[in-house]
Amino acid sequence: MKNKFWALTLSIISFLVICSLAFIYESIVFIYVASACPILIVALLPNTRASQWIQSGKDSEKVDLYIVESKQSAESDLLIITFKNGYIDWDKNILYFTLGKVSKVSKDHLDHNAATLTVLRHDFTLHPKRRGWIGITLSNLAQRVDYLSYTTDEVNRLAIRVSDITTITNKRRVSKKAAAPAPNMQA
């Protein structure tokens, strides 16, 4: 990501330098070269619209996050993300959410007629910079819908095992601890 930032910065600077040279020398060759630079600049711009974000409390009339507590064990608790049809843009790469303000409900609260997709452990990704944001790879879910009797436009609920979320977040903590340098031991 940092290399892309520096490449973008360098391409903008080179564009400005080439435009200046075209003005100073009144050369049509420099103008042609400068006209090709924006293509490089556009290719290096970050793709900010590749992800969709669900924020608890915001868009509460369109999306809701809650945990369904199981009477058997905590491992069988489910995080349910309900949303109105069309809320999720299935053309995006990743759907990010956070567990900030999630309420707990009983199984009686569930709508048993909702078109539900189960999110599996390999569908998750953690945001590389924003701590606490968990991503769901939407292309995996869209492929899974191909084998069901409904389409992505009809899906209005995602079911996620809470134990999968804790496993994914714990892996990040363990990998960060393993990457940290060990303190020097002196005898």
Mean of per-residue pLDDT scores for the chain? 82
* Percent of the chain whose pLDDT exceeds 70: 83
Question: CA torsion angle for 50, 55, 59, 64 (degrees, to 10)?
Answer: 110
Whether 185 is in a domain gets the answer: no
The one-letter amino acid code at 130 reads R
Question: Do residues 90 and 55 share a domain?
Answer: yes
Q: What is the pLDDT of residues 8-55, one digit of tens each?
A: 888 899 999 999 999 999 999 999 999 988 888 888 777 667 888 887
The reported pTM is 0.67
The one-letter amino acid code at 124 reads F
For residue 73, is pLDDT > 80? no
Question: Do residues 6 and 59 share a domain?
Answer: no
Question: Do residues 153 and 104 share a domain?
Answer: yes
Number of domains, the chain:
2
Question: Do residues 134 and 159 share a domain?
Answer: yes
82, 109 Cβ separation under 8 angstroms: no
| 3-state class (DSSP) for residue 91 | coil
Whether 154 is in a domain gets the answer: yes
Whether 182 is in a domain gets the answer: no
- In this prediction, residue 128 carries a pLDDT of 83
For residue 125, is pLDDT > 50? yes
Last residue of a domain, one of 12, 29, 44: 44
Provide the residue range defining the domain that includes 91. 51-175
